[in-house]
Amino acid sequence: MDRKTKSDRLFDLLNIIIFLIVLLLVLYPIYFILIASVSDPTATNAGKVWLFPVDFNWKGYEIIFSERSIWTGYKNSLIYAALGAAISTVITISGGYALSRKDLVGRTPIMLLILFTSFFQGGLIPSYILVKYLGMLDSIWAMVIPGAVSAFLLIVARTFFQQSIPDDLLEASMMDGCNNTRFFLQIVVPLALPIIAVIVLFNAVGQWNSYFKAMVYITNDDLQPLQIILRRILIRNQNSEMLGNITSAQSMVQYAELIKYGLIIVASLPMLVLYPFLQKYFVKGMMIGSVKG
């Protein structure tokens, strides 16, 4: 039986309306960029593109993907995102579990040092000198090693293990002859899938959007990530170098805007594809510490 009162139904209706409005405000800009990237730039600039593409065409994407550097940037960014997320996840999960153990000697001073790094950093010049001294300039390691450990994610992982892995489980495993390494790999890691998904997604997105490290540490064009390549294309596009076969100045400006829309889609698509596969674990992992008792 439906025991909801009239006021309850009205409240539910208002919630649905509010959330639909919020959903529209969030999704429509992305949808507009998508349809604008395949519409005639004249119609887009005239404000005729609202719900559907006008004079559908792939001209913007043809100009973008005619650049060989786009594919190189895609390959590099995928490598940096995958490798960086893997390294960071392994270190963060291992460190978070170790810091959650009550028998770890010096756990409190170690946590204080980790917290200190989230408030104070060495700065750009000391970081550059360190990377240079370690011989990582113009290498893939300059993109994935500096900043591989986030103090925030390490604390989140530690909190997860403290709340989700009881000491009784370790004691029972030890009685069955399980050592620390086996307990971590065979019991803790399978139970930590939600937090692993959170760490992987945070690091993958961070590496994918990273451009400052590449500007500082990478000078080899073959190692530049996608974000740097897209920045160069935008600069060249403003100088009309990519639009040599378009003679009209007005057409150049219009197609410049078209290319900008296309570049946004090109840069965002991989992360938009990745998120739905991790969304279930991501939501669960983000709720860590929200409920106690």
Provide DSSP, 43-79. HHHTT--SSS-SS---HHHHHHHT-HHHHHHHHHHHH
pLDDT tens, position by position, 225-263: 888 887 887 776 655 555 555 445 555 566 677 777 888
**With 50 as the cut, is the pLDDT of residue 43 above it?**
yes
Q: Which two tokens stand for residue 169?
A: 């489980």
- By three-state DSSP, how is residue 148 classified? coil
In CATH terms, the fold of domain 62-286 is MetI-like fold (1.10.3720)
**With 70 as the cut, is the pLDDT of residue 206 above it?**
yes
Instruction: Please tell me the predicted confidence (pLDDT) of residue 22.
Output: 92
**With 80 as the cut, is the pLDDT of residue 4 above it?**
no
**With 70 as the cut, is the pLDDT of residue 198 above it?**
yes
90 or 278: which leads in pLDDT = 90
**With 50 as the cut, is the pLDDT of residue 112 above it?**
yes
**With 90 as the cut, is the pLDDT of residue 87 above it?**
yes
Q: State the pLDDT confidence band at 293, using cuts at 50, 70 and 90.
A: very low
Cβ neighbours of 211 (radius 10 Å): 16
Percent of the chain with pLDDT strictly greater than 90: 11
Chain center to CA of 98: 26
Segment among 59-68, 69-78, 236-245 with least mean pLDDT: 236-245
**Mean pLDDT, rounded, for 144-173:** 86
Instruction: Please tell me the predicted confidence (pLDDT) of residue 164.
Output: 83
**With 90 as the cut, is the pLDDT of residue 83 above it?**
yes
Chain center to CA of 189: 22
Average pLDDT, the chain: 82
Whole-number Å distance between alpha carbons of 253 and 237: 9
**With 80 as the cut, is the pLDDT of residue 102 above it?**
yes
CB 201 within 8 A of CB 275: yes
